[in-house]
Structure 1
């Protein structure tokens, strides 16, 4: 599962890097480039259903380089080849010599891209987006069958066009180590708690025992902010400026850092990283609870279970935003109908059921399929599976390059606060200033 998990913060950093390196040069590779292509208008005009002009060969690509050939085949390749035995399928992962820019410069034709939501702006940057609306209509695909926020996001970033369809989404839950709760005689957490209730519970579990410092709760603060339940946006859509130095964001930051201000634990730049805190829960087994907002579940040998992510008083019953992966037919493809047939199959109930059984949750708004989550994996037997999938999710963020810049500054501010370098007000004010400087630089590079 860890190899299949895409880090939200890494995606944001890479996305910002791509934007910086390519913003002034336009796309290469014969697709029309940035000037005069779909990037210029922001929306690919609806067209008639295209006709295949090439052989039955399909190339799929991902910027998520951790998805190697073996994992790709487990996720998509084997199922596609079985369903489409007459199609020659090629897979290219991002890596040295095979970044998207390098492939386009070499004239490589890519038919389908699959990536996490964090890379949503790659198509806008390289001019590869293709409005799949005519094919969606021709195939009678009901967009209402998907988890609503995943389609609303596409309509928003595409100005009404549908450049991508979601294929699976990450789980989001509060995981807990039963052994630590049992050790200290503390009752297990419950579904539908408030964050204040979790705070009280975490305090009971933050203690030193036998020379070991136990911590009640840890989290990936950046991921928690990116998928926040309050629908907070890093950037003001009207001004294009960062807005993390606001009362709402200060309250949100405080709601996270309060868990790291108990006595007995000294946080440093080393032990406050996402990897370090995850290790505290999964490897060291000194953290009693951990929220993961972008996928991944505890190891098989842990005595664990899950409850729903606590909610905020001002947003009762609202869970974290979805963190989906998307499939996109590119405008380079000479086999658009065939490529879309593959996409249509991968979002079908047939495939979604089998994929969900393997621990990749369906994006369909179908609780009956979700009931089968992880069914093929012994580690999920007897677990509170329903807790990993909120009944109601907050609206997805924008994931624009500007938002990614502000997101990284928010995560850095979190570290500054819990390592006692700065207070919340100072840290967010300075983070906001730093974000706006980078946003201004990015805007200048686009001109």
Structure 2
């Protein structure tokens, strides 16, 4: 009997899902160019993706190609991966052995220029400028003009970011993007009779506000600001603060350190002062919080917030991604179940900017950019797919996502009937992509990651008072140059470069999880089916922000 009930539940669920797909198909019927598939010739569209493997292909198809194929039975997609995770995952490295690792740019280039070139490429924003400069992509402007494809509804942040990477031309489009904002606790500001932050405020102003609302001592301390909702090490805070300044650790060839400069010194001094003044939480405070949770028997009390200081009301302002809204919503909806919890009254504004780049914000990622290969055998089929994936109807379906934002303005509305400043996520421009082959530098010298470790060590000495900023930067420069000049493998085993994050397929039986991350901040997942969108999206972490913190 139990088995029959279970079967009935599953049948109802899949029936509902099927009906949703039928409705979605009807909704999207006008997106594709083919009105009579039976009279069209069969065709293949090959899509090249940067990272993946057999386990990732079903997820990609689920998100981007299944609906199109259902509407166009004459079209079949082949998904081709430039860098296969499994090739790295199961590679066994012997002690002292130098392992040759694939260059993602060169591997994708091979897919585009080889004997069987792909039609569509899906790349990250950090690579877009190089692909356009090397004439590997077709401009989409002629297709857009020919089909009168309306882009007036596109988010300015997205279009301007794409154009600045292509010398004012459009070489790719992305249906979704990820962004962050500055979350603030309204009550903390009201209790201090201080005006809350506003959009497009600069770091100086935000940090001054943080000083004004900081109060209390010990475990009762209220911090004015945190670079993320958990306490992190000071070096990661420096990297977050300086991201839009685009300070370089080394030169374009990866041969000489550039950290002993006024720019780096100002960034270190600014963040160091925040820790000195107890404006941001440090590791000592977190240990105090954890010790408070400890019971006499050595066990710990359950923390439903996982150490989230903003939800605990311990931080007045913090930076986080769009997906954090769902975390706040769920916590507030469950407030009556949580002991000693006061609902957080919050809103968002744009992340702080620097005076030298007042319109540039970090944490904005265009990670699913779709372009047409310059040597595409089927450019028309490629464009039809890109047009479909970036259409208004597609955006309407994907606007349910609690993880990513759709690129169409009309569907960017507060979720679940909430009221907050959604424009905070779309006002600033992304950091311009570099024309330097940074990934090649990492490939040629896997040990270059040691340079960051030295920087972290030096900043810790500044925090502890063992060194001043200039002394620490000078030592970082010297030790960093030694690492840059050392050939990989000399003087010991060089730690391998961290692998990109694998996006696990989201299934009904197993929730989405993040595994190993990638350096460009690739977003995780959205909805598995139309009906299950909200459930699955809430389980996915924003890998871009996590990656940003680790850099």
TM-score, normalised on structure 2? 0.52
Query: What secondary structure, in the 3-state scheme, does the structure 2 residue paired with 1:290 have?
Result: strand
Question: Alpha-carbon deviations, 1:304-325, whole Å to 9, x = none?
Answer: 3211222334444554474221
Change (3 A) 1:57 1:116: closer
Q: Which moved more, 1:194-203 or 1:137-146?
A: 137-146
Given that residues 371 and 385 in structure 1 are in contact (C-alpha distance below 8 angstroms), is that contact kept between their aligned partners in structure 2? no
What pairs up with 1:136-147 in 2 under 5 angstroms? 137-138=142-143, 140=145, 147=159
What pairs up with 1:357-436 in 2 under 5 angstroms? 358=401, 360-362=404-406, 369-370=408-409, 372-375=411-414, 377-378=415-416, 381-391=418-428, 395-398=432-435, 400-401=438-439, 409=451, 413=455, 416-417=458-459, 419-420=463-464, 422-436=467-481
Q: Distance in 1 between matches of 2:196 and 2:363?
A: 25
Change (3 A) 1:383 1:123: same
Q: Distance in 2 between matches of 1:64 and 1:206?
A: 45
What pairs up with 1:79-228 in 2 under 5 angstroms? 79-81=67-69, 84-89=72-77, 95-97=85-87, 112-118=120-126, 131-133=136-138, 137-138=142-143, 140=145, 147-154=159-166, 164-178=172-186, 180-181=188-189, 187-208=195-216, 211-219=219-227, 221=237, 224=240, 227-228=243-244
CA RMSD of superposed structures (Å) = 5.2
* Runs (5+) with no aligned partner, structure 2: 1-40, 90-100, 228-235, 288-304, 333-343, 491-551
Deviation of 1:382 after TM superposition, in Å, equals 0.9
Deviation of 1:113 after TM superposition, in Å, equals 4.4
Q: Distance in 2 between matches of 1:317 and 1:331?
A: 32
Structure with more relative contact order (C-alpha pairs < 8 Å, separation 6 or more): 1
Question: Alpha-carbon deviations, 1:55-102, whole Å to 9, x = none?
Answer: 42545535278x956864664345544554433346578543588959
Deviation of 1:224 after TM superposition, in Å, equals 2.9
Structure showing greater Rg: 2
Given that residues 164 and 327 in structure 1 are in contact (C-alpha distance below 8 angstroms), is that contact kept between their aligned partners in structure 2? yes
**Counterpart position of 1:343:** 386
**Counterpart position of 2:531:** none
Given that residues 143 and 383 in structure 2 are in contact (C-alpha distance below 8 angstroms), is that contact kept between their aligned partners in structure 1? no
Q: Distance in 2 between matches of 1:256 and 1:64?
A: 37
Change (3 A) 1:310 1:78: same
Change (3 A) 1:180 1:310: same
Q: Distance in 2 between matches of 1:147 and 1:265?
A: 35
Q: Distance in 2 between matches of 1:426 and 1:278?
A: 37
Given that residues 350 and 428 in structure 2 are in contact (C-alpha distance below 8 angstroms), is that contact kept between their aligned partners in structure 1? no
Question: Alpha-carbon deviations, 1:218-252, whole Å to 9, x = none?
Answer: 21637636740x45455545996442322123223
Given that residues 318 and 393 in structure 1 are in contact (C-alpha distance below 8 angstroms), is that contact kept between their aligned partners in structure 2? yes
Change (3 A) 1:152 1:268: same
